[in-house]
Amino acid sequence: MSAEQLDLFPSGQPGRGTAGEKTRPVASAPVDLNPDSSLAAAMTAFHGHMIRQGFSDNTVKAFQADLRLLGKYLAANKPIGAVSQGDLERFLVWMKADRGVPCSPKSYARRLTTLKVFFAWLAESEVLRTDPAAPLIHQHPTTPMPELVYDVDVSALLRTARDLLWAPKPDARPYLLVTLVLQTGIKKGECVEIKLEHIDLSNPQAPVLYIRYADPRRTLKERKLALGPNFAPAYNQYLREYKPKEYLFECTPRNLEYVLEDLAALAGVKGGVSFEQLRWTCAVRDYRNGMTADQLRQKLGLSHITWRETLPKIQKLASPAL
């Protein structure tokens, strides 16, 4: 994900070779921050807030760059209490038309998001009495709709993967992998970081997966996910065949992509299958089956900011054809 676009379904930390995330606390601003404090001082405090709240590194860098641009336009020593809605509207016009540097629709939308998140934090922390960015209209850029795995192809994948369980040379890995991602909607980076200790088979009919993060800044994405009753038999067969020592999949992320590609080819699914497609397919299926929006957000491990753009896409994909 580049600083020009905040990915809606960001990939997880690079790997080696139905519950939800923790509730994010509302962090207060430093006690010495007040309406007379400079924009630069507020930017510094906001940086600390983002770190404490577990914002991704790319988001922190992008938001800070956007705010530095605002400081360049308004002057970094301008009191935050003196920043008006008009100032922000003129900044947006300058950035889009008068700055002399191209500003793509995606960059413009992200920078508007930065203003809204920054000033909303100042208002919620009671540093500012009103939020000057609240009235700004947020027009999202047009982006391609995500690709799903069609129901007929899901059936073909599962049927082919089940056949591999009982082949002359059995292989449980394709079935375990495709059902795991379809059931949980986890990202590729999260998949490769699953340790054996993260899987709870205390109740084989209702196994549980714990998504953990080593980086303390990402612990807000940790969650507990339900696995289906068919998981345990395939999992136990997989353990007998592959004998993993610590991680569930002791291979590289690219190896797991090959597993999906090979399975898709065997199943006759044209164009192959990716982790992202399975993740979106899981989300749309859960939404169609009645999972509430907030439960789904938590299951996918997404922040409220990312969810603003993700939910409309899920709703559109889940709606009947026109």
The Cα–Cα gap between 160 and 264 comes to 9
Going from N- to C-terminal start, the domains of the chain cover: 39-124, 151-318
The Cα–Cα gap between 41 and 33 comes to 8
Q: Give pLDDT, residue 10.
A: 43
Is residue 66 packed enough to be buried (19+ CB in 10 Å), middle (13-18) or exposed (0-12)?
buried
- Per-residue pLDDT tens for 289-308? 999 999 999 999 998 878 88
- Per-residue pLDDT tens for 53-112? 888 888 999 999 999 999 999 998 999 999 999 999 999 999 888 888 888 888 888 999
Other Cβ atoms within 10 Å of 145 Cβ, number: 10
Q: Does domain 151-318 have CATH number 3.30.390.50?
A: no
The Cα–Cα gap between 141 and 111 comes to 12
Do domains 39-124 and 151-318 share one topology? The answer is no
CATH hierarchy code of domain 39-124: 1.10.150.130
The Cα–Cα gap between 128 and 120 comes to 9
Helix or strand or coil: residue 243? coil
Counting residues of the chain whose pLDDT is more than 70, the rounded percentage is 89
